[in-house]
Every structure is written in C-alpha cells, then in structure tokens.
Structure 1
C-alpha cells in the first residue's frame, strides 16, 4: 500500500463499506508536445486496468486541438481496450467543418462524442457569438451529430449555473439537448455537495431521467484550481482554501489533501445514491488511481499462464 493510501485510511474504510463498486470515467487532454504525449500515454496505461466505462479526450478552445484530439482518440481505440469518447465543440467552425469531423469519427469507429458548445480562444466564460454558418449551440451540435450517426452523445451540466444563466434556464437547455439526442450528461466539477444535490433534485423534478455523472476534480494546487474555477463561475468553499493554506512548498501534503477531499466527496455522493463518477485527470493519474482504490475499484487479476 502506498503512503497516499495509508494516509487515506479513514476514507478507505468508508469506501470499503460502499454497497457496490462505483462506475468511473476519465477525462484526458490531448498532448501539445512529444513530452506531453509520453506523459499522456503513461496516464492512460496507468488508469486503463481500472476498467472505466469510457475515457474522453478534450477539445481545445476554438477547435485548437482538433487534429491532436482525433489522433489520440483513434489511438486509444486501436491500441487499448478502452472505450474512447471525443470531445467536440462548434466554435469558430462551419457546420460543414464540424460535420466532417463527426463523419471522420464515425468512419474511424468512434461511437461516443461529448458535445460542448465551447468558448472561443481567449474568451473562456465570455460572451459567445456563433458563426452564421455554424452550429449556434450544443443543442444544435447534438442534433447534427445524431443526424450523421447513431452516436452516444454526452453533454455538460452546470450545478452552479453556466455564467449568465439561471439554474432553471440551464435545466431547460439540458431538456433541449436531450430532445436533440443527448443520451447522458456530465457535470462540471464542484465542491459544494449540498448544492449539487439540490441541483439534481431540480433536474429530476423536471422529468429528466438520463444518467448524469458528477464531475470530480482532484487538484493538488489550490492556486491552479482558482485559476480554472474563476472564469466558469465555480465557487470554491472557504474550507477548501483553508486546507491548502500555507502548503505552497509542500506538494506531498497537498496531494494527500486533494485525494482525501475527492474520495470523501465520492463516498458522500455514493451514500446519496450516486454510483457513476467522471474524473477530470489533467493527465495526472496517480491521484485518480489512489482515489479509485479507496472507492474499491481494483485492477482485474491477471491470469497466470500454466
């Protein structure tokens, strides 16, 4: 047992009491350099034995990683036993260009797409102006994907509301995405569990029944987390900041805290009836691997040849 797992003993005991093995999925980012590609594949190989329900590969702002995303997803399909999903956005692209990407995925054997409207480069969380010849939003994008092939389409939900929207407006948008063909949803990361549960009560009360995976972000740098959370309107609770206070030069303790928080969130959500989690890995597998172990997710035993 690693030092990280040992330090998580109390949480591990909670995980051992879970009624059943949770289902997990992992999000990766396409590499920008040869060194980053090597790190990505180390992350994939590290997490592959945990048998996730699927893994997804993100799409840069404005489609900036289109080719890298495509290559990575196809390679996962061809070289691993994982079920890959490709993120796809519609910003700064025509319908024809997006449809070409979708058809390319279908032809390559990819059957799952994560449809997100996306943000233009340099305008994360800012005002979005669609192209006249493009898909206006994730709802139109979902319909366009389904018109090309019978993909599984995952879409995003925002427990704290998308910037500029109310929760009620976001629920109406989610309904429209489902009507367009979305089959499941993944939540933006969060740390307010009670707020997430209230959000989900409203979603289910609105008659929405598709699977929705809570998004879990284990991050060992609170400064980095604030940088990610701010532009998309995610509130970070004071207690979380207090846990990381004074630890700028202590990365090992930050890792322990990050894993503890994420594992405890999953244990609490499981007690509330949730059993399907999406982990935003940031291509750093060790924290996610340890948390999954805590939750009772193990590698399948390898058969020994006679």
Structure 2
C-alpha cells in the first residue's frame, strides 16, 4: 500500500499510468476485470478510477478501486468529486478506501449545481480546496492527494474568453498549500501549450518541485476525438485536424495517425520537460491503442518493472452486492512483465492480444454492451454536456407544450441547434434522407433521439453511407429511438404494428422512468447489428449494435436527462413542470426494422399508425 509520490521518486526512466471508469453493464464490468489483468502487463505505476458527478457512481467506483488495489495489487488512485455531494458519501468513500488499502486520492471539485435551489443538502464543499483540507483534517497524511491541472486554463461555465493557465496558478498554489501532493493535467493535444504550462509551474516556488503528470487520451475514433476535445476545451492544432479530416471515416487510419500524434507529444515532452517523469493515459477502458503507443515509443517501451502493491490488508465484507468483488480465475495465464505481452496486445495477436481488439471500434451507447468501454466516453454519469443553464435556454428555449417541445427536436434535425440533451454530435448527412419523416413523427409528439435509414450493399466510400476501409460493402437496418406517450404506445402504436411485432419484422424495446423494460425479443437473443460492413482481409465489422443490456443502461440515463434539463429552469416554472410531466408519462422506445432491402418500410409503418 504505497503512496504514488514515493513510488515515483524511486523511478528511473519514464513511467505510465492509466485511468479507468466503472462500466455501465455487468458484462462490461466482468470484461474490464479481464482487461485489467492484461493491461497490468503494460506495467502501469498506478491506475486511477473515476467518480461520477455528485457521487453518482460511488458504489461502482469503490468496488472497482478495491478490486484493483486488493486483488490485482495495482497501486490505485480513487477520484473524489465533492461539490453537490453529501458529506456522508465522502466520509463513507474515505473510510472504505482506507479499509481497502487505498492510500491515494485525486481530489476534484466536480460540476457545481445549476442554481442554489438544486444544491444537495449537507454539502460542505464548495471547491477541491475544501475537500483537500477536509481529508487532511480527518486523516492527516495517510492519503497521498492529487489535484487537477489545466494546461490551457480552466473553463467555468460557457465563457472561454478568460481561459488562460495564468489565471489558474493562484488556485493551484492554494490546492498544494492545502495538502495536495501531485498534479495530473487535463488532456491536451497541443504540446506547446503543455510546455508553456510546465514553465509557468516551474517559475512558482510553491509548485516547481511538485510532481506534474501530463494526461493524454489516445485517439480511437474521429468522433470520440472531436467530442473529447470539445468537452474538455482542449484545442487541436490545425495541422492535426486537417490531416485527420482527410480519413476521418476510416477508423484504422485514425488510430494509426493518433498513435503517431501521441508519440510525437511524448517525444517533445521527454526532450523539453525533463522534470516530467511519466505519462497518464485516459484509456476510456480500451487497451489496444494504449499498448500500441507504449510499444512503439522508444521512451515508454523500456519502462522499469514495478512490484505488486498487494500487501495483506484485512478487508471485511462490505455492502457491494451486485457481483462478487473478486477476480475469479483468469481464463488465460498471464506471463508477468513480458515484452512479448506488450507486443501481442498492441498487435491484437497471440495469447493476450486476441482478446484485445474485439471492441476496438467503440460506438458510444450503440457499441457492444459487453465492452468495458460501452456508453459515454467519460463515465461520469448523465450530463447535458453544456456549460450552463443559460446555454441550455439559448439552444432549447423554455418549452411548456408538446408543440414547443417538438420544435426543439425539429430545430436539431434542421441543423438550427447543435445538440439535444440526448445527443451532442452533429447530424449525420444520412439523416437528410429521412428528415421529412422525422419531422412528422416529432410533430405527433413522438420525440426522436436517434435514427438511421436502411441501405443495402452500399460501397464503403459512398459520400452518404460510407465508412471504414476502401473496397468494402456496408449495410444498415432502419432504426429509430423515440420518447412516446404511454397511451400512444399502448393504444395506437403497438396494436397497429401487431403483425410486424409478432413476426419479428420489427423488434422493439420500451422502458420508463421506473426501470420497466419490455420487448418482443427473448432476453437471450436480443443483440442486433444495425450497421455492418464487409471488407477485404477482415472479419465482418459490426460497429453499431442494439441489445437488451445496452437499452437498459441507456434507458436509465435517458430519463435522468429529462430531469437534468428540467433543472435548468426554476422549480415550479412552466418548463420545469412540463419536462417533469414528460419524464413521468412517456416511454422510451427503440424500434428496428429488419428488412434492410425495403428502405421505406419502417417509415411507412410508423406514419400509417392512426
């Protein structure tokens, strides 16, 4: 049970460390344990485990952290966010962390509530400084405490005009004076801005000797790369973005170039920032690209070997009941600290590597629900992905009727606004093919959050439907996800589509705010690929999947986003009341039409419902 500052002081050469988040599904959690066993062979000095906003993932985070520390013997850093979090949650987390032998905490502020009326009761923390002081007051120096650094400046709210790392220095000094021991930075892609930030810290007497660990996020897909940079306010050099745009629909090329980009950043840091002793990777629970970066880096590939941090710690039975908190017999032997293991994982070959790339092409909530990386890219829980209530009102107005709400969805489908609470990515060009049908469905009060048209054997370089390597053929089934009034589903949609549902021409999942889930599919045969491609010298790729487990996980989050949206308005206001009415009285419905040769069939069936 070692403090990471002590481990780092003893390091010769560069170390690596990894961040993980608790997976959304039980299958994803189980598969993450196998992945952690493999990634342990990449020899991280430590790992960090994220903590959801307001403590929303606290049980899963503590469970994952305890397994990593106790069972896997990996030095583990538990994230803690404190604003809008009950003091009891923080006390419980610190108590259990000590019980599990965790001696390292990353103390973060987290997102503040939208206004005073939404503050969580018994919340004594306004900032990470308050949390650091509290930990020191309760536990003295038992915990080694890390803090966040922002190479491009912290952004609070939607105003980026004052984003400047110089403005953050006084607050960073206060965090260190309060008891912070090391700094992990927000992710960045512009290495010059990190070097400038490092120089700023070196000029401050209180900061120049503090361990600074740069945080980098590997590039797995263009969409993830673009979304991450937007959410973190990380600038992308024009040269990188221009090159990435030329092959953004080919995930293989994106990955290969992303490895090159990150290795260039690592090389520059090594050359120009000798005080930096390691690199922290935001893995988003994926392994192959991380392994490829390490394996191809002359700086990282010859890391020192670190001993296990698995001292005997007496851990009593605790409250986690969703699954056994143990790593039960790995199916494959692990060859400790083998250079070949690193190569196998990075190449997707050999004993370890063949399991390293099955979810190599994540697709957010439409990816494989068995993947540890399934779902949102950050693992921090439901969020509007906006900086302020004012921005929400700017985008979505103050709807208080079905027609006004329908107009919000139509504005998104018309490219008049950039996002909805359930989707924060630009519209795909293929949506224009079904745009008129989507307009009509939304005007009925059936609010669409995701959809795609069908296509049959389209060339992979097609300007509308194309994706993946050249000389391939791609297919997709029509699907749509809607919020519909419960009475409309029960009295109109389900009776009208009885033939399609009974014969599995169309399949559905429905859910509500209480966690009720319904379907016309058997639970054990619910997985459907709605997008797939056939390419030379490759297995069939299925990047877009819909199944029962993924729908269950998304259903819970999707309804919570209605509440997040409602909290942008004053309590008891018309908009607040109306959005809560939708939350209470609607189903989330996911529909798939399985005859992809009949491109209009889905839309004709839905629009014929009376």
TM-score normalized by the length of structure 2: 0.43
Q: How many pairs align?
A: 279
The answer for unaligned runs of 5 or more in structure 1 is 1-19
Q: Using the alignment, how far apart are the partners of 1:278 and 1:191 within structure 2?
A: 13
* Structure 2: segments with no counterpart, 5+ residues: 1-11, 157-162, 304-335, 340-610
Match for residue 255 of structure 2?
Answer: 255
Give 1:144-293 correspondences, 5 Å limit.
Answer: 144-149=134-139, 150-164=142-156, 166-207=164-205, 208=207, 209-272=209-272, 273=274, 274-293=276-295
Structure 1 distance, partners of 2:167, 2:133, is: 20
Correspondences of 1:5-154 after superposition (within 5 Å): 21-119=13-111, 133-149=123-139, 150-154=142-146
Rounded Cα–Cα distance in structure 2 between residues aligned with 1:101 and 1:199: 32
Structure 1 runs, 4 residues or longer, greater than 3 Å off: 129-133
Q: Equivalents in 1 of 2:286, 2:66: separation in Å?
A: 21
Deviation at 1:117, TM superposition (A): 0.6
Bigger Cα displacement from structure 2, 39-48 vs 59-68? 39-48
Provide the rounded CA distance (Å) in 2 between the counterparts of 1:203 and 1:263: 24
Q: d(CA) in 2 for partners of 1:180 and 1:73? A: 25
Higher relative contact order (CA 8 A, sep 6+): 1
Instruction: Give the superposition deviation at 1:256.
Output: 0.8
2:337 alignment partner in structure 1: 300
For 2:4, the equivalent position in structure 1 comes to none
Instruction: Write out per-residue CA displacement over residues 227-284 of structure 1, whole angstroms, 9 at most, x where no aligned residue.
Output: 2222332212222222221424321111111111111211111112133110110101
Tell which deviates more after alignment, 48-57 or 112-121.
112-121
Question: Deviation of residue 43 (structure 1)?
Answer: 2.8
Q: Which region of structure 1 is more displaced relative to structure 2, 176-185 or 226-235?
A: 226-235
Secondary structure at the residue paired with 1:230? helix
Q: What's the CA shift for 1:27?
A: 0.4
CA distance in 2, matches of 1:228, 1:196: 17
Q: Is residue 56–residue 87 contact of structure 1 (8 Å, CA) maintained in 2?
A: yes
> What is the CA distance between 1:290 and its match in structure 2?
1.5
The alignment's TM-score, normalised by the length of structure 1, stands at 0.84
CA contact (8 A) 2:83 2:123 kept: no
Change (3 A) 1:269 1:29: same
**Deviation per CA, 1:52-78, whole angstroms, max 9, x where unpaired?**
111011112222111100000001112
- Over the residues paired in the alignment, what is the CA RMSD in angstroms? 2.3
Q: Which structure features the higher share of helix residues? A: 1
Listed one character per residue, the Cα deviations across residues 27-58 of structure 1 (whole Å, up to 9, x for unaligned) are 01111102221332233122202221110111
